């Protein structure tokens, strides 16, 4: 830090002041505004702050925040780790995270999918973890085939970066194939509706359980180095490790944990050392948190897109456990609710289902078509008080989730 | 209807299904089922032949590359052309709409040959149109306003063989004040994804064309509430 040029030191200091003022004003954790001020004063600040550190970038459509947290937890034996723990995943957030930990030799940065090429160019990250790509809010997110192509190009020009990628996702595999060295993790893929075509030539992909290959060209699933099978991870040396001790539920988190183990192994942290640290992560920015309210144990699940809903369904309490669905369509959610029609809600038949959020009528129409009985309520409190005391699962998209969190306590 | 079963054909869900396009098949199935009309739905992937005996063909949206691939494969296959010549109903949204035309814009804006089923040509506009769209439907189709969401950078010009589906009240549509196009029983629209969800009358028009008779009304309380909410959100 002290070897930063004077201008950069000033940029960091003013950025911190702005962040602090933002926090005091109750406008969040201040990492976006702090980074913005810093970058305005020194456009090369991210490059300077990244210098002499070992950095991991983490990107995907789903699971970025959780996997960033898992990797960070497992890297603690190495010393202090800088990280953007609050999901501020663009360069402004990266600047704040690195500036806040000037002495940290390691950094784990969650990175928005679109910013991977830019952040890779500016930081020359040592390891890039790429997990999955699927349809997301299309009114603001990029088209994913295009996105994977940009990852590929960026990695071709970053030969020092080692990639840890999920080879069960064909699009991710194609994007990661631009890298000079890759660790392939068979981390699973449950949402397949975006990977029926070969990203290389457009031909049909033949899929057979986890394996896949193009019928027309040579593009095929690489042989995995790490394999997740059920709740067991097998390392490249053939040793197997059960993931049953994880506190985070569901197959999506087993997948995130497998990626995390492969990433930290690059830094010499062995699975037996990493696993107990992964197990300590109980909730991530409110996701999977259980809050107590009037005798109800409300568990909050965040789902932002069709692939995310599949993973939320995977961790629901068994039927007839009640479920609340809360849908908004603010900017961060995407203003378009069309994606509701990509989710198969029939799995909710046989449970009491409550629907709320600003776009509850969209959800009502969707559930009606899926022949899932439901009750529409004006807000979450009505649903909570209508179910008997006990467990209640709440699935919400981004701003709906934040509203519910704010209401029942911002437990991290 | 030429057989005892309404056959709904969803064209290329592997290429033309980006954002809730499946909703259109679900809406048609539901509206058929509630009226006791037997139906079957066929999902045709791009490596499979397009059946020519369908009654309603649905085409969804897609990214640039899948759109070009879909156009190439549909031209090579010829099944959709034969079905359209027979008088089958075709409903296409967004990328699917563009590729029904004689020409559309590729990844770099280069012209790509379309299917020529609708007399339209599309190119790339200067700005992406993203947001709610509302239109007053051509009077001869006799139905209420359409409401949907558009997300495209296309600009579409209609030739003499096609008529605009609607006059734009809110949003962008084709880029000339009109939205979508139709000719005979082929309809295309920039309302993307599950366009029929908020437009039950449009869904029923497709079904009526397909089975050749009027349909009894069904309970559209929720769909109508959604229509009302969306129309109020943009027009008030």
For residue A243, what is the domain's CATH number?
Answer: 3.40.1190.10
On whether residue A174 sits in a domain, the answer given is yes
Main-chain dihedrals φ then ψ at residue A377, nearest 5 degrees = -125, 160
Mean pLDDT of A195-208: 90
If 0-12 CB within 10 Å is exposed, 13-18 middle and 19+ buried, where does residue A145 land?
buried
Same domain assignment for residues A314 and A247: no
Look at residue A395 and tell me whether its pLDDT is greater than 50: yes
* Residue in A321, A318, A319, A323 with CA at minimum distance from that of residue A303: A323
Same domain assignment for residues A107 and A172: yes
Same domain assignment for residues A235 and A125: yes
Look at residue A213 and tell me whether its pLDDT is greater than 90: yes
Structure tokens at B160: 């003499």
Contact check, Cβ <8 Å, A336/B226: no
User: For B156-186, b where at least 16 C-beta lie within 10 A, e where not — what string?
Assistant: bbbeeebebbbebbbbbbbbeebbbbbbebb
Same domain assignment for residues A228 and A314: no
C-alpha distances in angstroms, B13 versus A215, A389, B9, B19, B60?
A: 18, 43, 10, 11, 8
On whether residue A49 sits in a domain, the answer given is yes
Picking from A8-12, B41-45, B130-134, which range would have the lowest pLDDT averaged per residue?
A8-12
On whether residue A29 sits in a domain, the answer given is no
Q: Which CATH architecture has domain B6-235?
A: 3-Layer(aba) Sandwich (3.40)
Q: Do residues A374 and A406 lie in contact, with contact meaning Cβ atoms separated by under 8 Å? A: no
CA A190 from centre of chain: 15
Nearest by CB to A341, from B23, B65, B229: name it: B23
Question: What is the average pLDDT score of chain A?
Answer: 92
Identify the domain boundary among A250, A279, A308: A279
> Residue A406: CB partners within 8 Å, gap ≥ 6?
none
- pTM for this one? 0.91
Same domain assignment for residues A214 and A343: no
* Structure confidence at residue A412 (pLDDT): 40
Q: Do residues A336 and A139 lie in contact, with contact meaning Cβ atoms separated by under 8 Å? A: yes
Mean pLDDT of A9-37: 75
Mean pLDDT of A28-50: 82
In the three-class reduction of DSSP (H, G, I as helix; E, B as strand; rest coil), residue A190 is classed as: coil
Same domain assignment for residues A273 and A308: no
For residue A304, what is the domain's CATH number?
Answer: 3.90.190.20
Residue showing tokens 């959100």: B233
Name the band, by pLDDT with cuts 50, 70 and 90, for residue A30. Answer: confident
On whether residue A1 sits in a domain, the answer given is no
Gap between the terminal Cα atoms of chain A: 29
Contact check, Cβ <8 Å, B222/A364: yes
Same domain assignment for residues A327 and A385: yes
A341 vs B contacts (CB less than 8 Å): 20-23, 26, 193-194, 197
Domain around A246: 44-279
Sheet harboring A226-229: ordered strands across? A81-83, A106-110, A54-59, A127-130, A162-166, A181-186, A226-229, A232-234, A240-242
Same domain assignment for residues A124 and A179: yes
On whether residue A32 sits in a domain, the answer given is no
Higher model confidence: residue A288 or residue B164? B164
- For residue B27, what is the nearest residue in chain A, using CA coordinates? A369
Contact check, Cβ <8 Å, B193/A362: no
A340 vs B contacts (CB less than 8 Å): 20
Question: How is chain B split into domains, by residue range?
Answer: 6-235
When divided into structural domains, chain A yields a total of: 2
* Structure confidence at residue A141 (pLDDT): 58
> Residue A21: CB partners within 8 Å, gap ≥ 6?
A30
* Structure confidence at residue A288 (pLDDT): 87
Reported as a single tens digit per residue, the pLDDT across A50-106 is: 999 999 999 999 999 999 999 999 999 999 999 997 778 999 999 999 999 999 999
Would you please indicate which residues of A are annotated as catalytic (active-site) residues?
336
Structure tokens at A75: 């890297």
Selected for mutation to probe chain A from B197, B199, B218, B228 (highest A CB count within 10 Å) is B197
What ipTM does the predicted assembly reach? 0.96
Same domain assignment for residues A263 and A314: no
Identify the domain boundary among A254, A279, A304: A279
Look at residue B196 and tell me whether its pLDDT is greater than 50: yes
DSSP label at residue A71: H
Contact check, Cβ <8 Å, B17/A193: yes
B23 vs A contacts (CB less than 8 Å): 338, 341, 369
Count the Cβ atoms, other than its own, within 10 Å of residue A249.
Answer: 15
Same domain assignment for residues A174 and A306: no
Alpha helices (runs of H) in A61-169, residue ranges in sequence order:
64-75, 91-100, 116-123, 144-156
Look at residue A244 and tell me whether its pLDDT is greater than 90: yes
Distance CA B11, CA B28 (A): 15
Identify the domain boundary among A213, A245, A279: A279
Same domain assignment for residues A146 and A196: yes
Count the Cβ atoms, other than its own, within 10 Å of residue B40.
Answer: 14
Selected for mutation to probe chain B from A146, A330, A369 (highest B CB count within 10 Å) is A369
């Amino acid at each position: 830090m002290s070897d930063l040029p004077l201008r950069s030191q000033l940029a960091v200091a003013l950025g911190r002041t702005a962040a602090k003022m933002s926090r005091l004003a109750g406008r969040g954790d201040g990492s976006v505004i702090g980074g913005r001020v810093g970058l305005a004063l020194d456009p090369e600040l991210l490059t300077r702050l990244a210098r002499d550190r070992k950095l991991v970038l983490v990107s995907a459509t789903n699971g970025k925040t959780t996997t960033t947290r898992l990797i960070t937890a497992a890297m603690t034996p190495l010393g202090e780790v800088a990280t953007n723990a609050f999901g501020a995943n663009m360069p402004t957030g990266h600047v704040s995270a690195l500036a806040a930990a000037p002495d940290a030799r390691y950094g784990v940065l969650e990175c928005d999918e679109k910013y991977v090429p830019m952040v890779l160019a500016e930081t020359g990250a040592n390891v890039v973890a790429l997990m999955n790509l699927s349809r997301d809010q299309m009114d603001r997110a990029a088209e994913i085939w295009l996105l994977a192509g940009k990852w590929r190009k960026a990695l071709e020009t970053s030969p020092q970066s080692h990639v840890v990628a999920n080879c069960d996702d064909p699009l991710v595999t194609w994007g990661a194939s631009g890298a000079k060295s890759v660790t392939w993790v068979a981390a699973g893929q449950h949402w397949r509706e975006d990977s029926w075509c070969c990203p290389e030539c457009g031909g049909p992909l033949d899929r057979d359980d986890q394996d896949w290959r193009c019928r027309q060209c040579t593009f095929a699933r690489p042989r995995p180095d790490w394999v997740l099978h059920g709740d067991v991870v097998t390392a490249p040396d053939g040793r197997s490790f059960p993931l049953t001790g994880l506190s985070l539920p569901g197959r999506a988190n087993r997948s995130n944990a497998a990626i995390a183990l492969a990433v930290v192994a690059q830094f010499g942290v062995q699975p037996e050392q990493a696993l107990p640290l992964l197990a300590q992560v109980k909730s991530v920015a409110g996701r999977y948190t259980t809050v107590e309210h009037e005798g109800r144990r409300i568990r909050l699940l965040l789902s932002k897109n069709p692939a995310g809903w599949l993973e939320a369904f995977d961790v629901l309490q068994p039927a007839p456990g009640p479920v609340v669905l809360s849908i908004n369509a603010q900017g961060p959610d995407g203003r378009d609710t069309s994606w509701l029609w990509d989710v198969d809600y029939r799995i909710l038949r046989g449970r009491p289902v409550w629907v709320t959020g600003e776009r509850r009528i969209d959800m009502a129409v969707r559930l009606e078509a899926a022949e899932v009985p439901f009750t529409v309520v004006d807000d979450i409190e009505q649903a909570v008080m209508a179910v008997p005391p006990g467990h209640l699962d709440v699935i919400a998209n981004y701003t709906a989730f934040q509203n519910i969190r704010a209401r029942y306590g911002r437990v991290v | 209807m030429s057989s005892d079963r309404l056959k709904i054909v969803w064209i290329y869900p592997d290429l033309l299904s980006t954002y809730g396009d499946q909703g259109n098949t679900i809406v048609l199935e539901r509206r058929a089922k509630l009226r006791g009309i037997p139906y079957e739905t066929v999902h045709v992937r791009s490596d499979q032949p397009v059946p020519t005996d369908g009654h309603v063909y649905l085409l969804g949206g897609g990214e640039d590359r899948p759109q070009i691939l879909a156009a190439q494969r549909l031209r090579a296959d010829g099944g959709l052309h034969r079905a359209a010549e027979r008088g089958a109903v075709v409903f296409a949204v967004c990328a699917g709409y563009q590729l029904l035309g004689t020409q559309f814009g590729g990844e770099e804006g280069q012209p790509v040959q379309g299917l020529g089923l609708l007399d339209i040509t599309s190119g790339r506009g200067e700005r992406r149109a993203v947001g709610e769209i509302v239109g007053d439907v051509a009077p001869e189709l006799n139905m209420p306003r359409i409401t949907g969401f558009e997300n495209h950078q296309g600009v579409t010009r209609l030739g003499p063989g096609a008529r605009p589906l609607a006059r734009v009240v809110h949003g962008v549509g084709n880029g000339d004040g009109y939205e979508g196009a139709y000719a005979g029983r082929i309809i295309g629209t920039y309302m993307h994804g599950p366009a029929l969800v908020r437009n039950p009358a449009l869904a029923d028009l497709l079904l009526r064309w397909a089975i050749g008779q009027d349909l009894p009304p069904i309970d559209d309380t929720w769909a109508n509430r959604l229509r009302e909410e969306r129309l109020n959100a943009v027009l008030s």
